[in-house]
Amino acid sequence: MSRRLEGKAALVTGAGSGIGRAAAAVFAREGARVIVSDVNVPGGAETVAAIQKQGGEARFIRCDISKPAEVEALIRGAVEAFGRLDCAVNNAGISGVMAPTGDYPEDMWDRIMATNLKGVWLCMKQEIQQMLKQGGGSIVNTASAAGLVGVPMAPAYVAAKHGVVGLTKTAALEYAKANIRINAVCPGVVRTPMITVATDGNPEIEAAVIAAEPVGRMGTPEEIGEALVWLSSGAASFITGAALPVDGGLVAQ
């Protein structure tokens, strides 16, 4: 069976756990050489070890995507490792605290914006420059269903993810003729460490979250990883500027 990304060089940020880890594993399964990046060094190392155990090729580069110098070093390191950058998944993000807009802590607002929006832009900036040099590539940003609809008590997260969707569409238009496709996935409720923190391990809160999903369950990181890889592959060659809900019907309600 042919592998969809055989020989491609890929980068996945936030790959130390959750959706990023699952995405990195699917990229490797499909034949890509993968740069795994995260601020979580032990988590990143675990992701690399799991990929290598399955016969894939992966390397870890630590990066805080909110810091421009670290992002520049990340992209430089990725190109030094594999010679080019064909696919980039900008997945790293944080959830922050839950509070109404009028009471939201300013320091937390700034932290979420620095990582979830500015960090994505910093990564895109460097990735686009590299892809222009080599004649093309694919970028997929992890937005959220919260980038398409409002979510009470999460103003900073929602604002940042809406920003990611807008940034994705704008950049897609700017670089469409340069053979660089830029898309976003918008996951619904997915069983990851982030959702565990958000529900605080409370079964009643978790049940309420699941009840919001028309399919009656949470998604899995692997399901989001499959969408990320599909958008990065030749199978999606005529798709750019899309914000694809992968959400069990959540935003269709």
Give per-residue pLDDT as tens, 73-131. Answer: 999 999 999 999 999 999 999 999 999 999 999 999 999 999 999 999 999 999 999 99
Is the pLDDT at 52 greater than 90? The verdict is yes
Q: Is 119 helix (H, G, I), strand (E, B) or coil?
A: helix
- For residues 188 and 142, the answer to whether their CB atoms sit within 8 Å is no
Is the Cα dihedral 162, 159, 63, 36 positive or negative? negative
Q: What are phi and psi of 55, to 5 degrees?
A: 90, 10
Residue labelled with tokens 């900073």: 156
**The CATH number, out of the four listed (3.40.50.720, 3.90.550.10, 1.10.443.10, 1.10.510.10), of the domain defined by the range 9-245:** 3.40.50.720
In the predicted model, what is the mean pLDDT of residues 127-146? 98
Is the pLDDT at 141 greater than 70? The verdict is yes
Is the pLDDT at 29 greater than 90? The verdict is yes
pLDDT at 14: 98
- For residues 152 and 212, the answer to whether their CB atoms sit within 8 Å is no
- For residues 185 and 144, the answer to whether their CB atoms sit within 8 Å is no
What percent of the chain stands above pLDDT 70?
96
pLDDT at 210: 87
Q: Which residues are catalytic?
A: 157
- For residues 27 and 4, the answer to whether their CB atoms sit within 8 Å is no
Is the pLDDT at 23 greater than 90? The verdict is yes
**Domain map (residue ranges) of the chain:** 9-245
Q: Is 252 helix (H, G, I), strand (E, B) or coil?
A: helix
Report how far apart, in Å, the C-alpha atoms of 42 and of each of 13, 15, 24 are. Answer: 14, 11, 15
In the predicted model, what is the mean pLDDT of residues 204-232? 92
